[in-house]
Amino acid sequence: MKGDRIFLGALRALSGLSLALLLVFVGLLAHQAWPALRHSGLSFLSSSDWDPGSDGFGALALIYGTVVSSVLALVIAVPVSVAAALCLTEVFSKRVAWLVSFLIEMLAAIPSVVFGLWGIFVLAPFFRSGLQPFLSEKLSFLPLFSGPPLGVGMLTAGVVLAIMITPTLTALSREVFASIPRIQREAALALGATAWETISLSVLKSARSGLATAVILAWGRALGETMAVTMVIGNRPQIQASLFAPAQTLASVLANEYAEASGDLHLSALSAVGLALLLVSLLVHGLSRVLIKRGSAA
């Protein structure tokens, strides 16, 4: 019918417009970033010297801070979120599951700047006076827990990010577990499996691809977080093994310096940072789509 063809054409035009806007956005960022990339060359990715005053723009320390803080957040958030999702789908009653899921999802409604303020005034003082001295005393032989307890730094940023991505990761994991047919659980129980064996064999094993997709989507959320990380990470572009040391991410340098950029080359370097962050986010989400397709095929 003519109406169906018009509707289908409109949908195709809108989807094509979305792709065109993305390409235009990438093209504009690349155009603005080109002077800095031409000036710095490969050292933009291989150098950690970020010094706008002397036109030194090396993003390696920023990439390091982005990757380490987001991976640290995943290390903390994944076990908690998966365990919470398992309790919501396999252990708790419907009433308790509704209440707990409501409380977890409320975390997603809290603005990131509030997480940042909480990190500065509550988490950082506790880390500085309690957790970090304890870890330094007991595990000082590990480079990860060496150095003075500053409060702000990579560890604080990782914990704040972990709390922020927990609602997303829990909701996605819960949907993955809920999509597994009930008959698989009943079959395992009928064969004499215990409750834990049923969960590990019938639920967790069947949900591996879905959980991997959920983790990658949460990772993309952590990579792009700006305000909360900016407020607690210390904002020092350096590469250090210690989690107590200050660091800086691609997003935090944009938040700190874009409004006060000292010249055209500085603005171009910040555009290159934004382009790198955008490409990393697109790569992460593309990987999640590949995993979803493989999971559906399996």
Condensed to tens digits (0 to 9), the pLDDT of residues 19-75 reads: 888 888 888 888 888 888 888 887 888 888 888 778 788 888 898 999 899 999 999
Asked if the model's pLDDT at residue 171 lies above 80, the reply is yes
Rounded CA-CA distance 39/256 in Å is: 22
Rounded CA-CA distance 210/92 in Å is: 22
Condensed to tens digits (0 to 9), the pLDDT of residues 35-50 reads: 888 888 878 888 888 8
pLDDT, position 69: 92
Find the mean pLDDT for residues 104-111.
83
Can you give the pTM of this predicted structure? 0.85
The mean of the pLDDT values for the chain is 84
Yes or no: say if 251 and 2 are a contact pair by the CB < 8 Å rule: no
Q: CA–CA distance from 97 to each of 125, 143, 186, 195 (Å)?
A: 33, 41, 21, 18
pLDDT, position 74: 92
Q: How many domains does the chain have?
A: 1
Rounded CA-CA distance 233/293 in Å is: 36
Q: CA–CA distance from 241 to each of 65, 143, 164, 223, 237 (Å)?
A: 11, 6, 24, 19, 13
Rounded CA-CA distance 133/164 in Å is: 25
Find the mean pLDDT for residues 205-229.
84
Q: Which two tokens stand for residue 228?
A: 């909360």
pLDDT, position 210: 82
Rounded CA-CA distance 295/35 in Å is: 42
Yes or no: say if 170 and 164 are a contact pair by the CB < 8 Å rule: no
Q: What is the CATH number of the domain that holds 138?
A: 1.10.3720.10
The residue type at 150: L
Condensed to tens digits (0 to 9), the pLDDT of residues 115-128 reads: 999 999 999 999 99
124-133, 262-271, 282-291: the lowest-pLDDT one:
282-291
Full domain range(s) for residue 201: 2-297
Comparing CA positions, the residue from 99, 290, 89 lying closest to residue 204 is 89
CA 23 to mean position of chain CA atoms: 23
Asked if the model's pLDDT at residue 162 lies above 90, the reply is yes
